[in-house]
Chain A
Amino acid sequence: MNIEIKAIRKSYGRKQVLRDITLSVTSGKCIGILGSNGSGKSTLLSILAGVQSSDGGEFLFDGRDLFKYEKQRALLVGYVPQGTPLIEELTAKDNLFLWYTREEMQKELDSGILKMLGIGDFLSTQVSKMSGGMKKRLAIGCAIAKRPPILILDEPMAALDIACKQSISEYIKRHKQEGGIVLISTHDLIEMELCDEQYIIKNGVLNRFDYKGNLDELVKSL
């Protein structure tokens, strides 16, 4: 299983945000995409997730362009956007019900991903009364319903505590071990350590960056 991103372009008015973004990822890899605020990281991820369209380019999954096969893309890609993709007035269980059948939910809560994320502990809690970490874990739990092989995470650990970050890290590691592919937009050093390859988007261009723990070098590159 592999994905290929070929020559993706995107402009907002006259401003070209993405210029011929090209990338190839094989099974079991996690790719980190870095960049300063407004550099185009989230735009690239939302294009791959099908939230917005590109001005050109391809998103190939085992040779098949997912931009042309919307239903397949929806099944193959799990997307965690920034923010809280949850209904605040309802409980965790209600929110999960939007993405899982009752049987699927029970199975995942008993021995699956939802158990690993610890969602069973706050199943009956209303979202508006949850902490940021609980909300993010629940959001990931919702996004990975049906176990999509490609995970696209837009700054998943932003403003979370260490315990919560660890829980999400564990899940990402397990997803890689199971042969899945992960694309992360990040500013977080813990997330960067999870990544097998790092890329930086600058002026709309994607370039490979090998992060070796030197923060000054990273800041200069952004």
Chain B
Amino acid sequence: MKRYFYLQLKRGLKVFPFILLTALIILASVAAIFLAVQSRMQNSEENQRFKIAITGDLDDKYSQLGLAVLQNFDDTRFAIELVEMTTDEAEAQLKKGGISAYVVLPENFIERALSGDVDRVTYVTSAGSQNVVSMFKNEFTALITDMVVHSEKGTYAISSAVKDSGLSGAGKYMDELSMEYVDLIFSRSKVMTVEQLGISQGVSTTEYYVCGLAVFLLMLLGITFVTMCVKHDLSLNRLLVSKGTSSLAQLIGEFAAHYIILSLLIAAMAAIGSVALAIVGKGDLLLTSFADLLPLFARIFVVLLMISGFNTLMFELSGNVVSAVLFHFFSTMGLCYVSGCFYPIYSLPLPLQKLSHFLPTGIAREYLEGYFVGDTNFIQLVGILIFTVAFLTAALLIRSAKIKSRRWRYAKTV
């Protein structure tokens, strides 16, 4: 077994330049796609304002004044554009996607409000936009309706009481009261502060994506080994079994060699990446100093154990290079997607969120996150080792079956 491992390692080192080149091409492609998508999203987010139509009773001068105030002074003007239109037009626009929602002001809304008796406004949105943003818009609409109705009711009740009691000069105080109220409405954003506690295990969004994408890339790099590791002729393995080297011993030798080459590949890519960043003057992009990064690399090398096991299984399952590439790629994409490597885990449905804790990629992501929050992640470490053994056991069963299979015996002859 020792010699078989040594020769597998020698074989890996021989094709290492090719593997490294392929890995760099994959990395560059993924980085280019990621940067392009990020830049597009950023631009669209920066330029995007929610367009909301105001429909219904808008003839009143106070309605016009209110709209003008909201459009010119309120904080919402940076995020929301209000446009006037009829209810039918708004409905048609909403169906076409021209607006995000529309608000219907009931008949005599302002008039009734001035008399302290205001109806609720109706907020209409499409079914597809029932997300967190529309939920906030609903809340916002309800807030205005309730606050306007009840506060105005209170203001007018006081006004009536002042008039009925015959107090003179109360108008000045009533104006002050109204101004206080308007000021309260306009400064409502000062009432609350949004704090981010972190996404998963308390890591920041950036750290979360670093871990998620690192797991994805580490998994993806397995594809660079496909031409070397996929076996279409098992005669050497059959000869080894005949000479007393069991399938288990062979597999461990191959796994160990693969792990070492994969680790070398990561080290080489990290070195090349650091030099490239330094050359283009972006050295500050590195999260921290090299010494501080060592524990992160230690975790990556632990994760690589599991990924090497996963790769070994993928190569064993495939009979040729094309199927191996496709099988590996789609397995990686699926596992990484469900484990929240591409999107924050909270954006996935609850069952998938729970499932991600038991998936190899989810466990690997959480284990890497431990570096940023200073957690040892012992459970995840055990999970990684269990998955490594599970992958190798499955690969062993397949290898043994293939060695004994008639179909594989005739797979290729000289």
Contacts and interface: CB of A to CB of B under 8 A. Distances in A.
B239 A87 contact: no
Interface in B68-124: none
A139 B14 CA distance: 21
A51 B241 contact: yes
Interface string B385-414: 000000000000000000110100111111
Interface string A69-91: 01100100101111111110110
Contacts of B241: 50-51
Given A83-B414, A97-B7, A51 B14 contact: no
Given A77-B242, A90-B11, A136-B414, A52 B403 contact: yes
Nearest to A17: B406
B414 A143 contact: no
A98 B3 contact: yes
A118 interface: no
Nearest to A79: B242
A52 to B, nearest CB: 4
Contact residues on B (Cβ < 8 Å of other chain), bracket: 20 to 34
B235 interface: yes
Interface in A7-60: 12, 38, 42-43, 46, 49-52
A86 B236 contact: yes
B373 interface: no
Most buried by A among B15, B406, B414: B414
A135 interface: yes
B238 A81 contact: yes
Given A46-B238, A70-B244, A83-B234, A159 B413 contact: yes
B10 A81 contact: no
Contact residues on A (Cβ < 8 Å of other chain), bracket: 35 or more
Given A82-B413, A97-B3, A51 B228 contact: no
Nearest to A71: B244
B46 to A, nearest CB: 51
Given A71-B244, A74-B244, A132-B414, A81 B7 contact: no
Contacts of B190: none
A38 B406 contact: yes
B398 to A, nearest CB: 15
Contacts of B11: 87, 89-90
A49 B236 CA distance: 13
A128 B411 CA distance: 18
A142 interface: yes
A83 B14 contact: no
A65 interface: no
B15 A89 contact: yes
Nearest to B409: A42
A46 B413 contact: no
Nearest to A130: B414
A131 to B, nearest CB: 9
A94 B13 CA distance: 14
Interface in B1-43: 3-4, 7-8, 10-11, 14-15
Most buried by A among B8, B15, B413: B413
A220 B412 CA distance: 28
B61 interface: no
Contact of A74 (B234, B243, B406): B243
A71 B7 CA distance: 23
Interface in B211-241: 228, 233-236, 238-239, 241
Contacts of B10: 90, 94
Interface in A122-160: 132, 135-136, 139, 142-143, 155, 158-160
A85 B238 contact: yes
Given A83-B413, A98-B3, A159-B413, A43 B239 contact: no
Contact of B242 (A12, A51, A87, A89): A51
A99 interface: yes
Nearest to A50: B242
A94 B7 contact: yes
Given A94-B10, A98-B7, A158-B414, A83 B15 contact: no
B406 A12 contact: yes
A86 B228 CA distance: 13
B404 to A, nearest CB: 4
A141 to B, nearest CB: 12
B404 A51 contact: yes
19 contacts: A38-B406, A46-B409, A51-B404, A74-B244, A79-B243, A81-B235, A81-B409, A82-B410, A83-B412, A84-B236, A84-B414, A85-B236, A86-B236, A87-B8, A98-B3, A98-B4, A158-B413, A158-B414, A160-B414
